[in-house]
Amino acid sequence: MTFGTELREGFKLSLSALTANKGRAVLTMLGIIIGIISVTLMGAAIEGLTREFNKSFAFMGADVLYVDKWQWGFTGGEWWKYRNRKPLKADYADRIRREATLAAAVAPEVDRSGKVRFGNKVANNVDIDGTTADYAFVTRMDFDAGRFFTDEESRGGRPIAVIGKDVANLLFLNRDPIGEQIKINGLPFRVIGVRSTQGSVLGLFSLDNVVYIPLGQFERIYGTRFSATIGVRAVPGSDLDNAKEELRGVMRKIRGLLPSQEDDFSINQQTAFTNAFDQMIFYVGAIGLFVTALSLFVGGIGIMNIMFVSVTERTREIGIRKALGARRQAIMVQFLIEAVLICLGGGLLGLFLSYPLSMLLDNFLPTAMPVSIAMLGIAISLFVGVVSGIVPALRASKLDPVEALRYE
């Protein structure tokens, strides 16, 4: 009960002390304000990037391996090595399907940029994908209308197409595209399906500006010289690393590599991007933490300093309170609360300011400001308040009443 009364008295005192010195309090808060702004902005950027990333790269599937001439993600200065590899042939897919026991679905994919036309409307730079029926299984494809092509249809090389949402919107507006005839690089195709919206990669490249056609049709337009990517979905429940190792063995056999030769293909998976992404997050976090730590440190020192001043200014008052029976903890609580209130004030101001700033940042980076970041900001300011207030508060609480009463 005594402690409750002491706490309430401490609050009242701190508030009146702070309002008596508003300018000083705000100046002292500056470091905390900057610290909280940087921690919230960092948090918002990381949160936003992560959300965007998860949305963006989900299309690749966590259990899918992609055999490709190129190594995905950030690969440094090895561009020439990948560039000089022999192209991957689309029909590797058949051998993989036969020999890899851990492959549930296998589909080759070759793509080029092309022009798609319907009536007098034209879609430029569309990603024209030549693939097989299994591609729908590998990628777990969903449809807004119609379906993907069947095995027979793709083997037969019929002129049919499945279009992405962007293409559908651009060419057909409110019309139903199913059964309509489009022209890809001048050749006619009949639309049999519309794939559901997939979104974009980090808000930059749309995944919906795409048309899928049977591999045979693709080769009729573009020839066979382009390197394919072969998507392999692992058998459910199997270990992806085992599937990858098996796939690697099959590929080495297909490519006729000697044991001494290194792989002339790459097996990619979502983690290629996850790793690159983690690295990026690491840098964002490191910079943010550095700025945060620095400004909180400077802010904390400033608050400690102002608290020492405050203790000195009120030495006599402390003496009076002690003479009247204030215990050490009562004096300590009083000054600790004052320090915490300064920090909390700075923290709240910082949060208040970081909201519009995060809007600004949103122009360059995807951001999101969940409640947890605000809570973190508040917790940090509480922490800094306690840490920077504890030494001055302890000093105040240990003042000798006789000395303190004599202080002029």
Q: Among 6, 111, 134, 166, which residue sits at the site for another protein (rule: CB under 8 A)?
A: 6
Give the residue with the Cβ less far from another protein, 103 or 404: 404
Question: Is the CB of residue 307 less than 8 Å from the CB of residue 338?
Answer: yes
Burial of 145 (0-12, 13-18, 19+ CB in 10 A): middle
Q: How far is CA 256 from CA 167, 270, 290, in A?
A: 41, 27, 51
Quote the CA–CA distance of 227 and 144 in Å, as a whole number. Answer: 30
**117 binds another protein per the rule CB under 8 A:** no
Hey, what are 110's tokens? Answer: 């070759």
Quote the CA–CA distance of 251 and 273 in Å, as a whole number. Answer: 23
Q: Where does this chain touch another protein (CB under 8 A) — which range of 9-17, 129-137, 277-285, 375-383?
A: 9-17
Q: Among 103, 272, 330, 336, which residue sits at the site for another protein (rule: CB under 8 A)?
A: 330
Give the residue with the Cβ less far from another protein, 279 or 312: 312
Strands 187-195 and 160-163: what pairing?
A: parallel
Give the residue with the Cβ less far from another protein, 204 or 324: 324
Please state, as a whole number, how many other Cβ atoms lie within 10 Å of the Cβ of residue 338: 28
Give the residue with the Cβ less far from another protein, 6 or 111: 6
Quote the CA–CA distance of 215 and 163 in Å, as a whole number. Answer: 15
CA-CA-CA-CA dihedral for 53, 57, 58, 63, to nearest 10: -130
**5 binds another protein per the rule CB under 8 A:** yes
**241 binds another protein per the rule CB under 8 A:** no
**Which sign does the torsion angle of CA 164, 166, 169, 170 carry?**
negative
Give the residue with the Cβ less far from another protein, 230 or 330: 330
Q: Among 240, 257, 298, 320, which residue sits at the site for another protein (rule: CB under 8 A)?
A: 320
Q: Among 183, 220, 328, 395, which residue sits at the site for another protein (rule: CB under 8 A)?
A: 328
Q: Where does this chain touch another protein (CB under 8 A) — which range of 12-20, 26-34, 110-118, 154-162?
A: 12-20
Hey, what are 81's tokens? Answer: 């090595």
Q: Among 204, 258, 324, 371, which residue sits at the site for another protein (rule: CB under 8 A)?
A: 324
Give the residue with the Cβ less far from another protein, 62 or 323: 323
**401 binds another protein per the rule CB under 8 A:** yes
Q: Among 117, 317, 357, 395, which residue sits at the site for another protein (rule: CB under 8 A)?
A: 317
CB of 370: closest distance to another protein in angstroms? 40
CB of 21: closest distance to another protein in angstroms? 11
Helix orientation angle between 22-57 and 371-398, rounded to the nearest 10 degrees:
150
Pick from 116, 206, 192: nearest CA to 154: 192
Query: What is the contact surface with another protein in residues (CB under 8 A)?
Result: 1-6, 9, 16-17, 20, 316-317, 319-328, 330, 400-402, 405, 407-408
